[in-house]
């Protein structure tokens, strides 16, 4: 199988990630639940992963990294933990349902006021729309760093400048960009950064987290066991314990830590240069196919390694199935949990076929995928 569905999850992991998870399963106890060696070893691995993530994102302190089950939980925690019913929040048509659905729920149940900035036919935003949307009760801008449909990058510097000018919080969904693009939370003045572990951070599924800028407190989604302050009827408020009730996924976090250390050793710049090269090669070659339509803005080199396309008016699921069953190529078709993005692109009914690459994708695999699309197009 040629695996080109890395925006959903990276299938091919660095060997160190697999080794870390395997070792953790037999060596790690429950962090913070004892002073015996296996518990302490788990605490050490988890802390080292916090440190590595803090370094990757240039955070201030390791304790500002909170572990979750992934970006969906992180975004729910950020949204539910910061916003109230009388707040106004601005987001965009580029967003995943992990952003939209928590906002819609708060809008329906608590009266949250919501403004959604539209995208154009290429999936780009007009940044002046953000300024126009700001009201007296606006509290935050929530924005994805990169579209999971087009791979287009959002200019966080511009968004950050708008937030700073108007005293707004900046909440960023880095599901597609963490591990692909350099992210400096201090330079960009990001208040909450939500990320998942199982994509370009090369960690296992069920891992992820949230960077919380010092000085910000959030209402926790859950409370319970913490391993400390047992006789206090209230959940501890110190970070990161305040937002990490229950047993952490130590085995998964060990793998996530290995993935982050791999990225730090290899450098995001080096890995992204290669994924950018093969992504551009794929785009240039498939664009030569007569009835093929590519979505997104390819006028800039700074993109996530995603190419979404359709062959004429043929259903995207049909093309994805042919690629899988006849050519052994894994892609993702349909709506990609991003309904407003598809409305902007005009692909609500047809969906798109998404090809997404990683640093483990080879040039040979790229040419195989190009040849497969050529053959499918010729067969009609």
Name the helix (H) or strand (E) containing 212: strand 208-212
Judge contact between 364 and 281, C-beta under 8 A.
no
Tell me the mean pLDDT in the region 157-169: 98
Judged against a pLDDT cut of 70, whether residue 263 lies above it is answered with yes
Tell me the mean pLDDT in the region 211-238: 85
Judged against a pLDDT cut of 80, whether residue 216 lies above it is answered with yes
> What pLDDT was estimated at residue 363?
97
Judge contact between 171 and 194, C-beta under 8 A.
yes
Tell me the mean pLDDT in the region 341-366: 97
Tell me the mean pLDDT in the region 136-163: 98
Task: Name the β-bridge partners of 25.
Answer: none
pLDDT, one tens digit per residue, over 96-139 is: 999 999 999 999 999 999 999 999 999 999 999 999 999 999 99
Phi-psi region of 224 (alpha: psi -120 to 50; beta: other; left: phi over 0): left
Judged against a pLDDT cut of 70, whether residue 59 lies above it is answered with yes
Judged against a pLDDT cut of 90, whether residue 12 lies above it is answered with yes
Judge contact between 199 and 71, C-beta under 8 A.
no
Measured distance CA(374)–CA(378) in Å, rounded: 6
Judge contact between 376 and 322, C-beta under 8 A.
yes
Burial code (b: 16+ CB inside 10 Å, e: under 16) for 6-28 equals bbbbbeebbebbeebbeebeeeb
**Pair of tokens at residue 261:** 């250390």
pLDDT, one tens digit per residue, over 171-203 is: 999 999 999 999 999 999 999 999 999 999 999
Terminal-residue alpha carbon distance, the chain: 24
> What pLDDT was estimated at residue 242?
86
Judged against a pLDDT cut of 70, whether residue 37 lies above it is answered with no
* Contacts (Cβ under 8 Å, ≥6 apart) of 355: 4, 282, 306, 307, 308, 309, 331, 369
> What pLDDT was estimated at residue 75?
98
Burial code (b: 16+ CB inside 10 Å, e: under 16) for 174-200 equals bbbbbbbbebebeebbbbbbbbbbbbb
Measured distance CA(203)–CA(18) in Å, rounded: 9
Judged against a pLDDT cut of 90, whether residue 76 lies above it is answered with yes
Q: What DSSP string runs through 245-292?
A: -S---HHHHHHHHHHHHHHHHH-HHHHHHHHHHHHHHHHHHHTTSTTE
Longest dimension (CA), the chain: 71
- Nearest by Cα to 147 from 292, 380, 345: 345
> What pLDDT was estimated at residue 42?
79
Judged against a pLDDT cut of 70, whether residue 32 lies above it is answered with no
> What pLDDT was estimated at residue 28?
82
pLDDT, one tens digit per residue, over 318-339 is: 999 999 999 999 999 999 999 9
Judged against a pLDDT cut of 90, whether residue 379 lies above it is answered with no
């Amino acid at each position: 199988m040629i695996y080109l569905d890395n925006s959903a999850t990276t299938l091919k992991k660095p060997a160190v990630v697999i080794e870390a998870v395997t070792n953790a399963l037999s060596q790690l106890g429950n962090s913070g639940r004892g002073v015996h060696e296996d518990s302490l070893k788990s605490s050490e691995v988890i802390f080292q992963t916090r440190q590595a993530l803090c370094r990757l994102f240039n955070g201030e302190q390791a304790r500002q990294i909170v572990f979750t089950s992934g970006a969906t939980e992180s975004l729910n925690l950020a949204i539910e933990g910061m916003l109230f019913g009388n707040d106004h929040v601005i987001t965009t048509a580029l967003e995943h349902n992990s952003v939209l659905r928590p906002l819609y729920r708060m809008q329906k149940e608590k009266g949250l006021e919501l403004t959604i900035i539209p995208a154009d036919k290429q999936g780009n935003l007009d940044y002046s729309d953000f300024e126009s949307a700001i009201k007296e009760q606006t509290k935050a801008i929530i924005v994805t760093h990169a579209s999971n449909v087009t791979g287009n990058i959002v200019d966080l510097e511009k968004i950050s400048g708008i937030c700073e000018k108007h005293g707004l919080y900046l909440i960023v969904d880095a599901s597609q960009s963490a591990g692909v693009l350099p992210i400096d939370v201090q330079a960009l003045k990001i208040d909450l950064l939500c990320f998942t572990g199982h994509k370009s951070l090369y960690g296992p599924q069920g891992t992820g987290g949230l960077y919380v800028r010092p000085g910000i407190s959030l209402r926790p989604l859950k409370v319970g066991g913490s391993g400390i302050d047992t006789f206090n009827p209230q959940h501890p408020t110190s970070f990161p314990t305040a937002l990490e009730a229950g047993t952490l996924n130590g085995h998964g976090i060990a793998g996530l830590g290995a993935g982050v250390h791999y990225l730090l050793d290899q450098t995001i710049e080096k890995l992204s240069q290669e994924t950018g090269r093969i992504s551009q090669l794929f785009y240039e070659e498939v664009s030569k196919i007569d009835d093929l339509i590519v979505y997104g803005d390819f006028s800039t080199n700074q993109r996530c390694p995603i190419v979404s396309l359709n062959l004429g008016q043929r259903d995207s699921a049909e093309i994805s199935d042919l690629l899988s069953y006849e050519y052994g190529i894994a892609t993702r078709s349909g709506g990609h949990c991003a309904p407003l993005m598809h409305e902007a692109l005009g692909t609500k009914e047809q969906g798109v076929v998404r090809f997404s690459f990683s640093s483990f994708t080879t040039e040979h695999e790229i040419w195989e995928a190009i040849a497969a699309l050529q053959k499918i197009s010729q067969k009609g």
